[in-house]
Amino acid sequence: MVRVFWDLAWITVAGGWVVAILRLVAHDKHLLLVWANSFSAYLYAPALLLLPLALWRKRYRLAVLCLPLAVGHAVWVWPDYLPLLLPSGPPAPTREAAELKIFSANLHSRNVQHKAMLAEIAAADPDLILLQEYSSPWQAALSDQKFRERYPHRLGQVREDAFGIGIYSKWPFLDASLWMTGQVPQAEVVIALGSRPVRVINWHPLPPRNRAYFTVWQQQYHQLWERLTPRDEPLLIVGDFNATQHAEPLRRFAQSGYRSAHEVSGRGYAVTWPNGTAWIPPMRLDHAMMSGHFECMAIREGVGRGSDHKPLIVEFVLVGEGQK
């Protein structure tokens, strides 16, 4: 039994080495690597446990192999969890900061618990509501007179698959558009926040669950980059990204100057999927990315009853602008 344990330990560490090397030299270049990188928080953790155990049992060769994986875990995963040990509060807003509260939810097109989600939206009282998997039953559920009066400005495309998209707003749109990528719609609006126009994209690409979807997923992110040509404009990209913080697209956001609301708020460890609907280690597929014009005052995950995603409730401030 002891020998079986150590044999499994060697296999586990060898597998971790393969994935780590491929992450360094071919990050997300293959569908299987996307899946593996999605579980980074769990994939390298065994090395942390095996390293002291191997040293204690004087299995030094195994310990030597565990050490680089433990370092990889520290570099790639620990930054998400360090704020739990070293918490810091949100930045203090200034008088010139204009506030925007967003509720973003993957509704799940077949979710019938409409009242629960509506109650959660009402409790959050957001300025903008970004909806993914926006279907005709959800459109009907959101047609309540009081809801329509509170959110009179709407943009959306209903679909009966998992790729309908919608935006509801308390504030009028200066501009609004639906654009197609990979044969699914994305929603984009411009609102006035303080004295400046703010661009908000409700983003929901295909999930990279098979080769065909993976190819489209890559193309969709490429098309998104083309829309994000460098501009000095306040921009928020929020939604179900169908990618974790370890995926190549999220790394590219960071390289392009966009910041994760979760990470700047010290909540990089948060998870949003599968929300108790599957026996899969949880991960974060839902994100809120912001240009340097913004600070995130708070971000939390909601309940999302009946959906496989937890919604995001995010409070932004546009620095340097008067209150709305």
Residue entry with tokens 């909540």: 267
On whether the CB atoms of residues 210 and 31 are closer than 8 A, the answer is yes
Contacts of 257 (CB under 8 A, 6+ apart): 291, 292
pLDDT tier, 322 (very low <50, low <70, confident <90, very high otherwise): very low
Q: Residue 14 and residue 229: Cα distance in Å, rounded?
A: 41
Q: Residue 209 and residue 227: Cα distance in Å, rounded?
A: 25
What is the pLDDT at residue 2?
Answer: 77
On whether the CB atoms of residues 297 and 266 are closer than 8 A, the answer is no
Concatenated DSSP letters of 266-310? T-TT---BSTTSSSS--B--EEEEE-TTEEEEEEEE---TTSSS-
On whether the CB atoms of residues 47 and 66 are closer than 8 A, the answer is yes
Q: What is the CATH number of domain 98-318?
A: 3.60.10.10
Q: Which amino acid is at 116?
A: A
pLDDT tier, 220 (very low <50, low <70, confident <90, very high otherwise): very high
213 pLDDT higher than 50: yes
The pLDDT of 217-230, averaged and rounded, is: 90
φ/ψ of 71, rounded to 5, equals -65, -45
What is the pLDDT at residue 323?
Answer: 43
What is the pLDDT at residue 84?
Answer: 79
Domain boundaries, the chain: 2-76, 98-318
On whether the CB atoms of residues 272 and 242 are closer than 8 A, the answer is no
What is the pLDDT at residue 293?
Answer: 93
Q: Residue 51 and residue 63: Cα distance in Å, rounded?
A: 5
Q: Structure tokens of 203?
A: 């983003």
What is the pLDDT at residue 309?
Answer: 98
Lowest mean pLDDT, pick from 83-92, 256-265, 298-307, 313-322: 83-92
* pLDDT (tens digit per residue) in 187-212: 999 999 988 999 999 999 999 999 99
- 314 vs 93: which has the higher pLDDT: 314
Over pLDDT 90: what percentage of the chain?
81
What is the pLDDT at residue 56?
Answer: 92
What is the pLDDT at residue 91?
Answer: 62
324 pLDDT higher than 60: no
The pLDDT of 47-76, averaged and rounded, is: 92
The pLDDT of 263-287, averaged and rounded, is: 95
Task: Report which DSSP code applies to 109.
Answer: T
φ/ψ of 12, rounded to 5, equals -60, -45
What is the pLDDT at residue 93?
Answer: 58
What is the pLDDT at residue 215?
Answer: 96
Q: Residue 132 and residue 202: Cα distance in Å, rounded?
A: 8
What is the pLDDT at residue 321?
Answer: 63
Q: Residue 1 and residue 129: Cα distance in Å, rounded?
A: 55
Lowest mean pLDDT, pick from 166-170, 198-202, 276-280: 276-280
Q: Residue 114 and residue 137: Cα distance in Å, rounded?
A: 9
134 pLDDT higher than 80: yes
Question: What does the mean pLDDT of the chain come to?
Answer: 92
Provide the CA 3 distance to its chain's centre, in angstroms: 41
What is the pLDDT at residue 230?
Answer: 66
6 pLDDT higher than 90: no
- The top-scoring range by mean pLDDT among 1-15, 221-235, 269-283 is 269-283
Determine the 3-state secondary structure of 116 from DSSP.
helix
139 pLDDT higher than 70: yes
Q: Residue 145 and residue 150: Cα distance in Å, rounded?
A: 9
Kind of pairing between the strands at 294-301 and 312-318: antiparallel
Lowest mean pLDDT, pick from 36-45, 79-88, 140-149, 290-299: 79-88
Among 265, 274, 273, 324, which residue's Cα sits nearest to residue 299?
A: 265
On whether the CB atoms of residues 29 and 208 are closer than 8 A, the answer is no
Lowest mean pLDDT, pick from 72-86, 215-229, 239-253: 72-86
* pLDDT (tens digit per residue) in 74-128: 999 999 988 877 666 666 655 566 899 999 999 998 999 999 999 999 999 999 9
| b/e per residue 184-198 (b: at least 16 CB within 10 A) | bbbbbbbbebbeeeb
